[in-house]
Structure 1
Amino acid sequence: MSEPLRVLLIGKSPGDLGEMLCECGRDVELIHRERPENGFTAVSGGGIDVVLLDLDLTGGQGAAVFDRLRRTAPDVPVIVLTAAGEDPAALHAMQNGAQDYLVKEKADAELLCRAIRYALERTRVEAALRHSEAMYRRLVENLNEGVIAVDETGLITFANPAMEEILGCPAERLVGSPVAWFFDAPGRKGSAPTNPFCRATDERQEFELDLLHCDGGHVHALVVTSPVTDETGRFRGSIAGIMDITERKRAEEELRIRNEHLTMLNQVIGVTAASLSLAGLLEESLEKTLELMRFDVGIVYMLDSERKRALLQHQNGLPAKALARHRLIKVHHWPFNFIFIAGQPRYIEQQADLNSIEAGILRELEVSALACIPLVAESVVVGAVYAGSRTKTSFSRDERTLLETIGQEIGSGILKGMLHKKLEAANREANLYLDIMTHDIKNAENVSNLYTDLLLEMLEGEAALYARKIRSSIHRSAEILGNVTTIRRIHHDSPDVGPVDLAAVIREEVAAFPDVAIEIAEGPLTRVWADDLLCEVFTNLIRNAVKFGGGDVRIAIRVEDYDGESVLVSVEDTGPGIPDPMKESIFSRFERGWVGGYGDGLGLFIVRTLVERYGGTIRVEDRVEGRPDLGTAFRFTLREVLPAGDNDYPDGEECE
């Protein structure tokens, strides 16, 4: 070290002390003060590294001088010098913080220098230890978690401020108290086998514990204990970190209850969604509600058409003697008007001021708490559900919320059933009108075609041209009507696919267009999974090609293997082609023709719908790649009927 060691001697003239200090291996500055008062002044000014105190020159007041010196400079190491080895003042000094003492007659340079080095090092270590202890104490005292120390007998020896707050007791009351007082029942003494703080174990332990708060309440705590042992390894107690998790446990319990309620609600929703009838909806939703909420009695009422009476639709657990009285309710009487007229839930619970009417209802139903929840559909009360318990005396806020939500869901189910009936009625009426319209229009078309043919035989020139246009318009009208009928069948009839002879369908549709040049390329003789509407796919694709390609258009139809389970069907034409920007949209409903600006927009929509109905896919390409002007190719896949064992047949059907 570059700075000299500053040594203060209080007492006798140093003599050869200076020479002895030179042996310490570093520069030494010796400061000598013979009188104690002067020594106190020197050391209080700072800058002194070590003090040598000569007890022989204190007039018998060695102990008092040392104590004052320690008070004046508590951080400066002190080595006492004495003439006798059994000096009481030297013993006092060693017991109260002196680093060492030397008998002057026996001290030499080596011994003195070693004592100084040891004193400085011990002082440094003690200062570091005090600093560490101070940091530890500040850390422990500022922790949000509680910390306590417990000895091997179960007595608390330390508690930080957070522990005071957790238990609601000041530290001075905690220290010295048995820790068992705060987790055992009042008046019961803890014992080592049951006291988790007094288990002689080498392992860290973690557990949850209910602690008694000083105000009489309870604190749910997470406790982590670590054992404390002495130098022999003997168990001397535990240090425990304690975290108040009361709010966390309350939140977890609330979350658990909410999840449980959500599960209940989802199951009730599943019941209402799956019920096919109003009676089934009311019965199944009531039984599911009672089962999930562990209630004992349930009743479902529906209002009659005059909205004056509520009629029992379904009950579960209703006492036999109460059945006749509660089969019908006059809803304008209190308290039923509150539920059926005002549409407000009513909770009848055991309480001191319970009126006689509601008390009588509880007695008749043999329950201690009854929830009466209105059922609302389209903002109109249509009924109510009653749910009663024989064990509960009241309903919690969460239970009320759940019951009201279940009531809303049942009401939604009732509304859905009402709307479904209306929809079915409207659908039947629309189909009736469509059947009548189709029949009448077809009759009109037949008559129109007859008269048009007669006109064509009678007329020539421009007049005949107009007659042919009339016939063409009639044909387009018939096509549109046919497409509408096909779409109706697609949406109304359930898919009933089975093996269909693909080649036969293609030949039959080609025969329907005798004036069109259609080539059928030889391909595999195969059957596919389809129904009697498969012919509409080819009808619309051929008609589409003729419509936009004119009478000179040439069409080719090919069938080829695709992936071992499907076939690829291509319908190609030499018409004007389809521009690239329109290839993605032409299968959409009401997408009109791209040539001439006409077309009903339903033909290709029907084609895509039917192909997808059969489990296939369809795309449109250029007949000659990169040349849309040279024609169009519609390519679609159909699932092939494979021999038994090679494929699973839909709906359990087998190929014969």
Structure 2
Amino acid sequence: MVIEYPEPAAILQALPLPVGVIDRDGRVIRANPLFSSVPDDLLSSPDFAAFLAHVREEGAASATLCTGPDCFEAKGRVVPGPGGHVVVALVPDRDGGQGGCRLAVLVGIIRAATAPTSLQETLAAVVEKTVALLDFDAGAIYFVEKGGASAARRADAGLYRLYFPDAIAVGGDGDDWSSIFSDGRARYGEAYLGVAHAEGELGVYSHAVVPVSLPSGTVIGALAIANSSFHSFSPLEKETLEAIGREVGGIIHKAALADDLAAARTEADLYLDVLTHDINNANSVAMGYLEMLREEVAGEQSVFAGKCLSGIRQSCGIIDRVQVLRACQQEPTLRAVPLDPVIRSVIDGFPGASVTYAGTGAVVRADDLLPRIFENLIGNSLKHGGAAVGIAIDVAAENGGVDVRVSDTGPGIPPGARKKVFERFFRYTRSRPGQGLGLYIVGTLVHRYGGEIRVEDRVEGRPEEGAAFCFTLRSG
């Protein structure tokens, strides 16, 4: 007996669901008649494109896809062969798309809420997206003010700003608005409201106010929407609105904390700017008078004046390091910097030091903080090795990068301390003054420029003959 199998095209036409074959460019190359009922904007949506990409990556996948009131459970599988085609079946949701639409609304609002960078932008995105996706005419969102006595209207959308009060009392005094905060209960109105409205506007018929809460249940705000035509809220709509309040609460709280942190940083920067400016001015005046005093006195008094000057210069150095550390926290804007003039300028700043340097034509990716690396390394060698210490700077361009070696003939660094010398406040010897920030700044700047740094013996195997700081910089 010979069994005759139907052609694939005939099978496709007979399927009771929308089924199509889609090529790598997203074009429908074969489909059954039911596939033409699928909305065009669903097939051209970013969500559908992402679904196809996921199918091609995994070989098979499923997802809920919605456009307007239409939702489908999409199932896809890659067709074996060189074409890389995908067979897609679109199954309408059993609940008429309502469950899928609820998910789509939540996903859309969460996406809108996570994109902005400030609390105000987040609040505006939530209320605007909620009004748009649920097809209402107006909306507002409230956020509990510091102190917790009231919630202010922070963003609104649509025509009915007169309906939404500027602020809501958070304390439970019995009215419907305050119960949202005191009891965490949503409020729904489905009758005409006699509120003021502009000529030509219809007023407000239906409205809903739901709490915006954290996962702990703490209410931090309220989301309100309103419509100019009568609307009866279905159980699913109420569930969706209240889910929005729960889901966006954490996002809004995080945005509020980020705003508070940014404000605190701005305030701290202001105080620090005032302190560094005024302290530097005071130090400059004090050093000027002390220099004059040293010229007028002699003996022990001159020694005391010199020590005072040394202490004030140390204070200036601390302020300078703080300013460098603050600059290191900012996003770098790197550019091509010739290395040779930087090194020579730093060496000129240590006129009494014995520094050997042959020069280089290397260009590196860096910014205005680059000289601080060499200033701190030379200063570190002089502090620990004394004025007679010999310092050598060697530069070699290799493998698309620039290798730099700053070595000295000082006492060296113990092997056990070499991994820690770039840590903040670490001092590998207590015999010399310092705050343990110089080498920390060096390491921070090298990493800022995309390089690595290490410490080794100047002469391999003989740590007592000096240390060598070796680091890389990216070619410019």
Q: TM-score range by the shorter chain?
A: 0.5 to 0.7
Aligned to 1:347: 187
Spell out, residue by residue over 1:70-124, the C-alpha distance to the aligned partner (whole angstroms, 9 max, x if none): xxxxxxxxxxxxxxxxxxxxxxxxxxxxxxxxxxxxxxxxxxxxxxxxxxxxxxx
Q: Determine helix, strand or coil for the equivalent of 1:638.
A: strand
1:508 is matched with 345
Matches of 1:379 and 1:434 in 2, distance apart? Answer: 45
Residues 13-53 of structure 1, C-alpha deviation per residue, up to 9 Å, x if partnerless? Answer: xxxxxxxxxxxxxxxxxxxxxxxxxxxxxxxxxxxxxxxxx
Tell me the SS of whatever aligns to 1:348.
Answer: strand
Q: Match for residue 412 of structure 2? A: 577
Q: Relative contact order (C-alpha < 8 Å, sep 6+): which is higher? A: 2
CA contact (8 A) 1:303 1:382 kept: yes
SS in 1 for 2:371: helix
Structure 2 segments unaligned to the other structure (5+ residues): 1-92, 197-201
Structure 1 position 263 matched with structure 2 position 107:
yes
Distance in 2, Cα, partners of 1:543 & 1:344: 63
**Do residues 288 (structure 1) and 129 (structure 2) align?**
yes
Letter paired with 2:268: A
Contact 1:521/1:556, CA 8 A, preserved across alignment? no
Decide whether aligned partners of structure 1 residues 545 and 270 sit closer, same or farther in structure 2, where only a CA change above 3 A counts.
same
**Alignment partner of 1:514: what SS?**
coil
3-state SS of 2:336 partner: strand
Residues 394-543 of structure 1: matches in 2 within 5 Å?
A: 394=235, 395=237, 397=239, 399-452=241-294, 455=297, 458-459=298-299, 471-491=309-329, 494-522=331-359, 524-543=360-379
| 1:53-132 alignment runs, 5 A limit | none
Pairwise CA RMSD: 4.0
Give the C-alpha shift of residue 435 in structure 1. Answer: 1.8
Kindly state the Cα deviation for residue 265 of structure 1 after the two structures are TM-superposed: 6.1
Match of 1:628 among 439, 444, 463: 463
Counterpart AA for 2:370: L
CA contact (8 A) 2:114 2:122 kept: no
Partner Cα distance (2:413, 2:102) in 1? 58
Cα distance in 2 between the residues matched to 1:475 and 1:328: 56
Deviation at 1:636, TM superposition (A): 1.5
**For residue 533 of structure 1, what is the amino acid of its counterpart?**
L
Which residue of structure 2 aligns with residue 605 of structure 1? 440
TM-score of the superposed pair, with normalisation by structure 1: 0.49
Q: How does 1:161-240 map to 2 (within 5 A)?
A: none
- Corresponding residue for residue 204 of structure 2: 365
SS in 1 for 2:124: helix
Deviations 1:578-616 (A, max 9, x none): 111111111111112425153211111111111222222
Query: CA separation in 2, counterparts of 1:310 and 1:465?
Result: 65
Partner SS, residue 283 of structure 1: helix
Where does residue 316 of structure 1 map in the other structure?
157
Q: TM-score, normalised by structure 2?
A: 0.65
1:587 partner amino acid: F
Query: Which one has a bigger Cα radius of gyration?
Result: 1
* TM-aligned CA deviation for residue 388 of structure 1: 5.1
The partner residue of 2:178 within 315, 332, 337 is: 337
Residue identity opposite 1:288 in structure 2:
K
Choose which of 544, 549, 557 in structure 1 pairs with 2:380.
Answer: 544
Q: 1:329/1:555 Cα in 2 relative to 1: closer, same or farther (>3 Å)?
A: closer
AA aligned to 1:548 is H
- Report the 3-state secondary structure (helix = DSSP H, G, I; strand = E; otherwise coil) of the residue aligned with 2:361: coil
1:448 to partner: Cα distance: 3.2
Shift of 1:416: 3.5
Give, as a single letter, the amino acid of the residue that structure 2 aligns with 1:517.
S
The one-letter code sitting in structure 1 at the alignment partner of 2:251 is: E
Rounded to whole Å, the distance in 2 between the matches of 1:560 and 1:629 is: 26
Report deviation, 1:451.
Answer: 3.3
Name the CA distance, whole Å, in 1 between partners of 2:322 and 2:149.
47
Query: What is the DSSP-based 3-state SS (H/G/I as helix, E as strand, rest coil) of the residue aligned with 1:324?
Result: coil
Does 2:233 correspond to 1:392? yes
CA distance 1:520–1:269, shift in 2 (3 Å): same
* Matched residue count: 369
